[in-house]
């Protein structure tokens, strides 16, 4: 943690008129100050023709996900997310050549995953993992 | 524990007159306090706490430290945005940077972390002792000499004895000396409305002046608008944002009005209400507060307009929810909120111009009624009642 951690990342305030600014700001604050992730960046995903939605990426410091790049997609609790939206996320990540994170439990080994950061109005942020393909079942001696 | 009773003694941020000493008719000296208070004092005036409305997250933010303390200690309103409940980010960050001692002023999250570590340590010690006992048994069967480290009173290895060795030591590589106050208290719209109606809170927006708009109408319009905004964005229907109404039509099952009706209902009965997203319900009800005990009830809101329910659960969803809630030892309560018919609500909505803001809000809320049903799983051959 250094003095830079106490300020939001530069790219965030360029989004302040965006409809999803509230969710992105809540997730960015939680990742930077609460979970203490490093190297937070915002990527704008071209989901449908002209419209873009922000995607955050960062590197966790502690725990099982240590030192590996992770992606978090901020959404609101009152939104309904369809399969169309989820596939659009993964498709735009591939089109825009973002570095994909492989899921080691994926069936073919080529599935990638992101986290959905669901922002509630009481400031709770709940994280869910979404993989873009089938996964093998968890083995008993795995973490 | 008694300290908690002292700190959290006010159930609401409402100043009541302090009780006066008992009056004895024959002793004129006891009349003096009453005469003094009759002539010279006025009811203590509450200074409302300021907050700013954040429409996109449907919440109100409080940044004034004294205001945060007052709202939390009298009624447990709001949640720190970087903490589990009470805003404690500042203390925890200072401790992780080494700016605060290991055991000074422990907060809730840290007490839980220490307790979990102690439990984990105890389980590791117990597993080690059981392993030693098994090896001792094997030695006896093979008629071998029991080595010293396996004997019953042998010392445990060092890493199992040292209580906090796996606690991350404070790290401050960049030599940060002070930590700014970056956490705020976040209030949901029902909480903010409730506090405003008591005179304990004033809501401000950065851009417009809303002192003339009734707060109920302002919040209901935001709640009606935000799902439309995000839906249009996600479905790519080609709706441009200028087509979305500046003043959307308010339906009886408006999520803010339904949440508010249930909030008032439970608050009037003395429950402390917190968000229940982590247990996939709408509200968690605490008897006195999160500090005193765990939540007893998990409430799911189901709005009904006339005879039709706007939201229903399939059997497997209800079963799943009941199991989840039962696993965490809470009781599931389905709260049916009966909303007025659309024509009645439209008529009441129009009447706002002739009425005082709070009288009008009271009128609207009086048309909402609540019916609760609690659910518990019952197995004929296992449960007695």
- Assess A53–B contact: CB distance below 8 Å, yes or no: yes
Calpha distance A112→A104 (Å, rounded): 9
Q: Which residues of B are part of the catalytic machinery?
A: 286, 294, 330
- Tell me if A3 and B174 make a contact (CB, 8 A cut-off): yes
φ and ψ at B311, to 5 degrees? -145, 125
- Assess B81–A contact: CB distance below 8 Å, yes or no: yes
- Tell me if A123 and B56 make a contact (CB, 8 A cut-off): no
Calpha distance B316→B334 (Å, rounded): 15
pLDDT in tens, B165-220: 566 677 777 777 888 889 999 999 999 999 999 888 989 887 777 777 888 999 99
- Tell me if B81 and A26 make a contact (CB, 8 A cut-off): yes
- Tell me if B186 and A1 make a contact (CB, 8 A cut-off): no
Cβ-Cβ contacts under 8 Å, B57 against chain A: 22-23, 26, 76, 119, 121, 123
pLDDT at B272: 94
- Tell me if B278 and A126 make a contact (CB, 8 A cut-off): yes
Which has the higher per-residue pLDDT, B238 or B74?
Answer: B74
Long-range contacts of A66-69 (CB under 8 A, 24+ apart): A68/A101, A69/A99, A69/A101
Cα B140 to chain centroid, rounded: 58
Residue B155 has which token pair?
């010392």
Cβ-Cβ contacts under 8 Å, B59 against chain A: 121-123
Residues B344, B345, B351: CA angle, nearest 5 degrees: 95
Which has the higher per-residue pLDDT, B236 or A134?
Answer: A134
Give B284's pLDDT tier (boundaries 50, 70, 90). very high
Say if residue B27 is exposed, middle or buried (CB neighbours under 10 Å; 0-12, 13-18, 19+).
exposed
pLDDT at B173: 78
- Tell me if B173 and A2 make a contact (CB, 8 A cut-off): yes
Give B298's pLDDT tier (boundaries 50, 70, 90). very high
Which has the higher per-residue pLDDT, B63 or A99?
Answer: B63
Calpha distance B231→B226 (Å, rounded): 9
Calpha distance B237→A90 (Å, rounded): 21
Cβ-Cβ contacts under 8 Å, A121 against chain B: 57-59, 186, 188-189, 275
Which has the higher per-residue pLDDT, B207 or B361?
Answer: B361
Residue A108 has pLDDT above 60, yes or no: yes
- Tell me if B275 and A20 make a contact (CB, 8 A cut-off): no
CB B280 within 8 A of CB A129: no
Helix axes B215-235, B255-268, angle to 10 degrees: 130
pLDDT at B177: 82
- CA-based nearest distance A117→chain B, Å: 13
Residue B104 has which token pair?
């000074």
Mutate to test the interface with B, among A17, A116, A123, A125 (most CBs of B within 10 A): A123
pLDDT at B362: 92
CB B265 within 8 A of CB B336: no
- Assess A140–B contact: CB distance below 8 Å, yes or no: no
Cβ-Cβ contacts under 8 Å, B277 against chain A: 77, 118, 120, 122, 124, 126
CB B113 within 8 A of CB B95: no
Calpha distance B160→B383 (Å, rounded): 42
Closest residue to B59, CB basis, from A20, A82, A121: A121
- Tell me if B180 and A121 make a contact (CB, 8 A cut-off): no
- Assess B79–A contact: CB distance below 8 Å, yes or no: yes
pLDDT at B189: 94
SS3 content of chain A, % helix, strand, coil (to 5): 25, 30, 45
Q: What is the DSSP string of B290-333?
A: TTTS---EEEEEEEEETTEESS---HHHHHHHHHHHHHTT-EEE
ipTM over 0.95: no
pLDDT in tens, A41-100: 999 888 876 778 899 999 998 777 778 899 999 999 988 888 988 999 999 998 888 888
- Assess B173–A contact: CB distance below 8 Å, yes or no: yes
Residue B334 has pLDDT above 90, yes or no: yes
């Amino acid at each position: 943690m250094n003095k830079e951690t106490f300020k939001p990342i530069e790219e965030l305030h360029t989004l302040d008129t965006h409809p999803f600014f509230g969710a992105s700001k809540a997730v960015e604050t939680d990742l930077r100050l609460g979970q203490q992730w490093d190297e937070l960046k915002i990527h704008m995903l071209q989901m449908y023709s002209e419209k873009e939605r922000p995607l955050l990426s960062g590197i966790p410091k502690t725990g099982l996900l240590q030192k590996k790049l992770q992606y978090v997609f901020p959404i609101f609790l009152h939104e309904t997310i369809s399969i169309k939206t989820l596939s659009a996320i993964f498709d735009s990540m591939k089109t825009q050549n973002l570095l994909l994170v492989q899921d080691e439990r994926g069936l073919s080994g080529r599935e990638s995953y992101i986290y959905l950061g669901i922002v509630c109005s009481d400031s709770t942020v709940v994280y869910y993992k979404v993989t873009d393909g089938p996964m093998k079942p968890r083995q008993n001696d795995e973490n | 524990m008694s300290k908690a009773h002292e700190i959290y003694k006010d159930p609401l941020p409402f100043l009541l007159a302090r009780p006066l000493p008992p009056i004895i008719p024959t002793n004129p000296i006891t009349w003096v306090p009453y005469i003094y208070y009759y002539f010279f004092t006025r009811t203590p005036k509450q200074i409302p706490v300021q907050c700013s409305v954040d429409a996109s997250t449907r919440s109100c933010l409080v940044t004034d430290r004294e205001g945060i303390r007052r709202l939390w200690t009298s009624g447990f309103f709001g949640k720190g945005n970087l903490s589990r409940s009470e805003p404690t980010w500042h203390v925890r960050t200072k401790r992780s940077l080494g700016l605060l001692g290991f055991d000074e002023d422990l907060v809730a999250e840290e007490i839980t972390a220490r307790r979990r570590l102690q439990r984990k340590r105890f389980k590791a010690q117990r597993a080690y002792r059981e392993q030693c006992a098994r090896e001792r048994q094997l030695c006896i069967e093979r008629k071998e000499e029991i080595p010293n480290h396996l004997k019953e009173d042998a010392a445990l290895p060092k890493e199992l004895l040292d209580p906090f060795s796996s606690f991350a030591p404070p790290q401050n590589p960049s030599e940060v000396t002070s930590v700014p106050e970056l956490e705020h208290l976040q209030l949901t719209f029902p909480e903010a409305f409730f506090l405003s109606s008591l005179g304990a809170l004033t809501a401000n927006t950065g851009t417009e002046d809303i002192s003339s708009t009734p707060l109920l109408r302002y919040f209901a319009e935001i709640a009606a608008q935000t799902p439309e905004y995000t839906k249009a964005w996600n479905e790519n229907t080609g709706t441009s944002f200028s087509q979305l109404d500046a003043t959307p039509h308010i339906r009886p099952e408006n999520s803010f009005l339904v949440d508010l009706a249930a909030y008032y209902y439970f608050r009037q009965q003395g429950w402390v209400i917190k968000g229940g997203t982590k247990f996939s319900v709408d509200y968690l009800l605490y008897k006195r507060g999160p500090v005193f005990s765990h939540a007893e009830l998990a409430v799911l809101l189901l709005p009904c307009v006339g005879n039709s329910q706007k939201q229903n659960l399939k059997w497997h969803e209800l079963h799943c929810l009941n199991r989840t809630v039962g696993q965490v030892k809470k009781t599931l309560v389905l709260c049916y909120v009966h909303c007025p018919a659309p024509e009645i609500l439209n008529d009441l909505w129009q009447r706002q111009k002739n009425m005082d803001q709070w009288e009008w809000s009271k009128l609207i809320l009086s048309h909402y009624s609540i019916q609760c049903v609690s659910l518990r799983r019952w197995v004929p051959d296992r449960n007695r009642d």
